[in-house]
Structure 1
Amino acid sequence: MEVQQVIYMKRHFLRFISQENADNEMWLDYNGQPLKWHYPIGFLYDLYCGNDPQLPWMLTVHFTKFPEDILLHCPNKDVVEAHYMSTVKEADVLKHRGQVMSTMQKKDHNQLWLGLQNDKFDQFWAINRRLMESHGDNEGFKHIPIRIYADDGVCNQRLVNPKNTDGSRKVLQQMINEIYPERINVKLKTHGIVLPLDTPLQWLSEHMSYPDNFLHLCLC
């Protein structure tokens, strides 16, 4: 969820809670399911409302009984920044062996984060576009940063090559056959869209990744 929106949301609800709970961590749930703040909000909507879309999305705000067995603590936005940058670095290792993030300066990392935090697309994309490009003699990424989630929220993360052994571009159906050989009629959704099975993985990674540079796909 966009960081500034969370800050404004907390300030708003502090007016309606008791003083004894004012310093507690805020967390959200949907239908009794705590929402993990380190997952993209669009992905969470696909995961829990994909079969029954509803807008506005009705969430419950909590300041008590923090579910430590489910959620990571998030006492301040520095924790959000650290987690975000760690995830981007992980994606870069998969795509470019870490060569892009390691050549950036601190000011580039700051610009990437501040552009995201303040919802300034041009500021964010000026840096992030370098992470979405092929580098050197490679046509495409070494691996695709991808996480696939079942409806219970369990994550399946594998090393996925964007190419087949013959050098052709791997498409979504071929990846599904590799990961779920025993299942039929598997469909994957992201950004509210059920993805065509003939979509190349390289294209998906370049155009449908979330700001953390990962593809977050819901298993239908």
Structure 2
Amino acid sequence: MSVPDSYYLMVPRVSYLPLVMEKVRKHFLRSVSSEFQESEMWLEYDGTPLKWHYPIGVLFDMMAQGSSLPWTITAHFSHFPEHELMHCNNRDILESHFISVVKEADGLKHRGHVITNMQSKDHKQLWSGLCNDKFDQFWAINRKLMECSGEDGFRHIPFRFHFSSQPPMQCLIRPVSDDGHKLTLTDLLKEVFSEESIEKDRIIIQGIEPPMDTPLQWLSEHLSHPDNFLHICQVPSPA
């Protein structure tokens, strides 16, 4: 088989790999042997399979921070890593996963009241707006999920900590303390990590290192991904 040309795509960091997989598959399929033509394609970076249910920006921040663009990843059509990746044979699986995570986030923020009161067409509009990069269409629905019912903000902050070598971590944390003090990113890190780990690693959210005194409520409202979770990546500092 001939060696395929590289294939370049510019994709939003808030999107997901399965939304562009079909384009990638069509490009490389002509160079794949007949025995693997019907196989499920999967992607890897530097020897590590890329989890399709994580937003693309989270994968990049977690695994490739500091590398030059374009981000070079490899497509595979054989030897699917069953022990590391879930199967995703169509977009419906991703859509189901996405709505499920949005529901989890709303459960943390509003006890699930907002998403429960939405109709199926609202869920579809939310998903369609994300898939088609339609900002106004997406935010017409997502704005409701980001509303605060009181001065203290959300009931809890939906967040996940991501690491390159272990499963993500999350726990319950409110945006304010019992005495009404606004909790910050530093407070969150102290809640889940030792102080030593705070000092030696970089904390990346949406590709940037926010000030450690940034209020959690502000971070959740402005830097959450479309799934309504604040995805925080802990990466080693450069040597």
| Aligned equivalent of 2:93, options 73, 79, 103 | 79
Distance 1:132 1:114 in 2: 18
1:83 deviates by 0.5
Normalising by structure 2, report the TM-score.
Answer: 0.87
Which consecutive unaligned segments of at least 5 residues does structure 1 have?
A: none
1:151 deviates by 2.9
1:175 is matched with 188
Paired amino acid for 1:120: K
1:53 deviates by 2.3
2:156 is matched with 143
RMSD: 1.5
1:157 deviates by 0.8
1:4 deviates by 3.7
| Aligned equivalent of 1:166, options 154, 179, 183 | 179
1:36 deviates by 0.1
| Aligned equivalent of 1:211, options 223, 226, 234 | 226
| Aligned equivalent of 1:65, options 79, 100, 118 | 79
1:76 deviates by 0.8
- 2:131 is aligned with 1:125: no
For the residue of structure 1 that corresponds to 2:44, the secondary structure is strand
User: Quick check: 2:43–2:75 contact (8 Å CA) kept in 1?
Assistant: yes
- 2:65 is aligned with 1:54: no
Paired amino acid for 2:162: Y
User: Quick check: 1:3–1:117 contact (8 Å CA) kept in 2?
Assistant: no
Paired amino acid for 2:42: W
Paired amino acid for 1:68: E
Distance 1:215 1:134 in 2: 16
1:212 deviates by 0.8
User: Quick check: 2:152–2:175 contact (8 Å CA) kept in 1?
Assistant: no
| Aligned equivalent of 2:108, options 74, 84, 94 | 94
Which consecutive unaligned segments of at least 5 residues does structure 2 have?
A: 1-15
Normalising by structure 1, report the TM-score.
Answer: 0.94
- 2:18 is aligned with 1:12: no
1:195 is matched with 210
1:156 deviates by 1.2
Paired amino acid for 1:35: L
1:150 deviates by 2.4
1:139 deviates by 3.6
Distance 1:25 1:105 in 2: 33
For the residue of structure 2 that corresponds to 1:16, the secondary structure is coil
Superposed CA offset, 1:17-52 (max 9, x none) = 1222121111100010000000011011111112x3
Distance 2:116 2:194 in 1: 37
1:93 deviates by 0.3
1:153 deviates by 4.0
Distance 1:6 1:132 in 2: 30
Paired amino acid for 1:55: L
1:36 is matched with 51
Percentage of matched positions with identical amino acids: 51
1:163 deviates by 0.6
